[in-house]
Amino acid sequence: MRIGMAFVVLLFGLSTGHALDQTSEIYKCQGDNGRSLYTSDKRDTEGKKCEVVSRTVIVVPPVAAPKAAAKTPSPAGFPKEDAATRASAKDRQREIIARELAQEEAILSRAKKDFAEQEAIRYGDEKNEKRVLDRLQKYRENVELHEKNVQELRKELGNIK
């Protein structure tokens, strides 16, 4: 308990500005009622029987200003991308995504058609609505998946500048 109290006093002393001191000392003093008092303030020790229980030398290194990152030149023969190459790469990317979007829209159309066909069919063992909904669930999930894919591809196509 006493060591814990000394630690708290030390931390409090450091946080109130004593961190700039070169040396920090913790004193244990006998109080008027016989209880021990731990302090790092020399003024609290006047007229009391005190002993140093901890002495800490604090070294704070100077903080250097951050240096700007030096530009390192590219090694000889390092491939560089010019504006024309970058533009053609974006054009190819746009073409690929547009092709994927067209394929995904065709798959979505087919999935919607399959779902509509299955919705119109009613088998003899499907006397309650739950069985119908259970059978249609995979078709509904397929439509939702492809709708989401189409939406994401359109978003990706819009992000290409």
**Residue-wise pLDDT tens for the chain (161 aa)?**
455 554 544 455 444 444 444 677 888 888 777 778 788 888 877 877 888 888 777 776 777 777 777 788 878 878 888 888 888 889 999 999 999 999 999 999 999 999 999 888 887 777 788 888 888 999 999 999 999 999 999 999 999 87
For residues 2 and 35, is the Cβ–Cβ distance under 8 A?
no
At residue 109, the pLDDT reads: 96
At residue 111, the pLDDT reads: 95
Torsion-angle region of 19 (φ positive above 0: left; ψ -120 to 50: alpha; else: beta): alpha
Chain CA centroid to CA 62, Å: 31
What's at 94, amino acid-wise? R
Spell 43-74 as b/e; 16+ CB within 10 A means b.
Answer: eebeeeebeeebeeeeeeeeeeeeeeeeeeee
For residues 145 and 115, is the Cβ–Cβ distance under 8 A?
no
Return the number of other C-beta atoms located less than 10 Å from residue 148's C-beta: 12
How buried is 117 (Cβ within 10 angstroms: 0-12 exposed, 13-18 middle, 19+ buried)? Answer: exposed
- CA dist list (Å): 40 to 1, 32, 80: 17, 18, 63
Chain CA centroid to CA 158, Å: 26
